[in-house]
Chains A and B, each alone.
Chain A
């Protein structure tokens, strides 16, 4: 059983070489095109002559299929059916109210912004639970303000499973960064959403778009939304920044409420979706409960996060 992403990718990488016939047939087709002078690509296959792969263009191609669905949904009030009394764990539930994504995110912003700060925290602690092989595992992570960190893994022993190859406490990475930011850079980010949004897009390399967003900018919206959520999970972003991050997310058009979601721990949040990305937030406390819960892969539940003064000792 392969245990790592890299092993899986390596195993799936090799493919047979092209057959001699395939190679010569391709060359013959190219020669025919060269002889005819007809270089136009097949319908829908490529770009206009001389205009390949500028960033916005490439992203527009990526997002074209979902433009219609995503372009202008932020202001749409989603009418949802009454809630069902029985909600299967880990599955979307019927929403009980009429909600907009912006309203949910604004509520989360207020909750996140009202939390006490942690300006002098030495560690950022987060706890995730995930189901794997039908069993529940827990990761507790301490990220040191000035680099390094520790992860403590607990759960049933199962040496044959991908779920865990070792239980105990291990060093984390040499120097964890939060996307493009270090801890101190996170603290230096602007907390005015109007200033934060272009800064985030620039620092994450997203195409800067203008409001209102056009169809061609749709893929950029999704990337920006994901980048905002990335900064809200497992990072020590201070309360004022978290509030601003949620407000930036609320301003990104196209986000839809897909319903309430109850995870296997019985926690309920609101599922929001933009393109292929789904996140679940509890607007009452601003905690991101889960990301992409509907992908069919291992469900990751974000239990708690906050400042910590010390880290545990290494060892199993």
Chain B
């Protein structure tokens, strides 16, 4: 754990001249980046790819600025996504099916015990890669739509519009609107998230 009190923004600003500051960011964010990678590629691949994310970030730090939230994570997740895609491209075609953003076996493993294997895949399969990643950044990484927009390099307006679209399609694939009498649960949640 680092005792460095500088903010992520200050560290990012200093990176072009002091690349060793990436070590501070590693201490601060490696666990979160690992979880991001592990959710999409499984634990072993995540451990293998973790350093690659930060080394790649070194080469991409010349003009980076922190997100308005002050966190470097949107930037690091954006880089992690590209590292993941490169990783999946390197896999044999018979291994990870041609999905450049996700190892579905790793996801299914987490749902097996709950007899939910395949259902999440069914919900997310029909989404465009970028829409799915947006949805997962919000659902899994706890990002706001604005932070997810920064990670994906799109505008906040685009992020909100695509999040709306992604959730609508995913819910349709799950069996449409699941209303409990008196509780329009999903769409209420959906709407609240849209307004966030």
Q: How far is the CA of A31 from the CA of B98 in the complex (A)?
A: 33
- B141's nearest neighbour on chain A, judged by CB, is A13
Instruction: Give the chain B neighbours of A316 by CB distance below 8 A.
Output: 181
Q: How far is the CA of A9 from the CA of B47 in the complex (A)?
A: 23
Q: How far is the CA of A165 from the CA of B177 in the complex (A)?
A: 9
Q: Name the residue among A2, A15, A166, A296 with the largest chain B CB count within 10 angstroms.
A: A15
Do B153 and A57 touch (CB < 8 A)?
A: yes
Do B185 and A153 touch (CB < 8 A)?
A: no
Question: B69 in the interface, Cβ–Cβ < 8 Å?
Answer: no
Do B176 and A179 touch (CB < 8 A)?
A: no
Question: Please, what's the 1-or-0 string for B57-83, where 1 marks a CB less than 8 Å from any CB in chain A?
Answer: 011111110000000000100110011
- A300's nearest neighbour on chain B, judged by CB, is B172
Interfacial residues, chain B to chain A (CB-CB below 8 A): 19-20, 22-23, 26-27, 30-31, 34-35, 38-39, 43, 46-47, 50-52, 54-56, 58-64, 75, 78-79, 82-83, 85-87, 89-90, 98, 100, 107, 110-111, 114-116, 119-120, 122-123, 125-126, 128-130, 135-136, 139-140, 151-162, 164-165, 167, 169-191
Do B175 and A132 touch (CB < 8 A)?
A: yes
Q: How far is the CB of A298 from chain B (nearest CB, A)?
A: 5
Instruction: Give the chain B neighbours of A204 by CB distance below 8 A.
Output: 157-158, 161-162
**With A12-B107, A18-B30 in contact, do A39 and B175 touch (Cβ < 8 Å)?**
no
Q: How far is the CA of A213 from the CA of B177 in the complex (A)?
A: 37
Q: How far is the CB of B190 from chain A (nearest CB, A)?
A: 7
List, sorted by A's number, 5 A–B pairs whose CB atoms are closer than 8 Å: A29-B51, A49-B62, A162-B175, A204-B158, A230-B165
- A229's nearest neighbour on chain B, judged by CB, is B165
Do A54 and B153 touch (CB < 8 A)?
A: yes
Do B23 and A30 touch (CB < 8 A)?
A: yes
Number of A-B pairs whose CB atoms are under 8 Å?
294
Do B110 and A219 touch (CB < 8 A)?
A: no
Question: A116 in the interface, Cβ–Cβ < 8 Å?
Answer: no
Do A206 and B58 touch (CB < 8 A)?
A: no
**With A5-B171, A61-B85 in contact, do A22 and B47 touch (Cβ < 8 Å)?**
yes
Set A5, A9, A23, A275: member contacting B30, Cβ < 8 A: A23
Instruction: Give the chain A neighbours of B161 by CB distance below 8 A.
Output: 179-180, 203-205, 227
Q: How far is the CA of A59 from the CA of B133 in the complex (A)?
A: 12
Q: How far is the CA of A299 from the CA of B104 in the complex (A)?
A: 21
Instruction: Give the chain B neighbours of A18 by CB distance below 8 A.
Output: 30-31, 34-35, 38, 46-47, 50
Instruction: Give the chain B neighbours of A17 by CB distance below 8 A.
Output: 31, 34-35
Q: Name the residue among A4, A10, A55, A177 with the largest chain B CB count within 10 angstroms.
A: A4
Do A137 and B179 touch (CB < 8 A)?
A: no
Instruction: Give the chain A neighbours of B61 by CB distance below 8 A.
Output: 50
Set B130, B179, B182: member contacting A59, Cβ < 8 A: B130
Instruction: Give the chain B neighbours of A168 by CB distance below 8 A.
Output: 181
Q: How far is the CA of A168 from the CA of B87 in the complex (A)?
A: 48
Set A46, A54, A153, A174: member contacting B79, Cβ < 8 A: A46
Q: How far is the CA of A163 from the CA of B180 in the complex (A)?
A: 12
- The 8 tightest CB contacts between A and B, nearest first, are A205-B158, A50-B62, A58-B153, A29-B51, A297-B122, A22-B47, A53-B153, A292-B126
Q: How far is the CA of A288 from the CA of B59 in the complex (A)?
A: 46
18 other A-B residue contacts (CB within 8 Å) besides A53-B75, A179-B164, A295-B125: A8-B174, A23-B34, A26-B34, A26-B47, A30-B22, A41-B55, A41-B59, A46-B59, A52-B78, A128-B176, A130-B172, A162-B119, A166-B179, A173-B191, A203-B157, A230-B165, A275-B128, A298-B175
Q: How far is the CA of A140 from the CA of B178 in the complex (A)?
A: 13
Question: A120 in the interface, Cβ–Cβ < 8 Å?
Answer: no
Instruction: Give the chain B neighbours of A31 by CB distance below 8 A.
Output: 23
Instruction: Give the chain B neighbours of A57 by CB distance below 8 A.
Output: 153
Instruction: Give the chain A neighbours of B174 by CB distance below 8 A.
Output: 4-5, 8, 162, 297-298
Do B125 and A8 touch (CB < 8 A)?
A: no
Q: How far is the CA of A16 from the CA of B109 in the complex (A)?
A: 12
Question: A3 in the interface, Cβ–Cβ < 8 Å?
Answer: yes
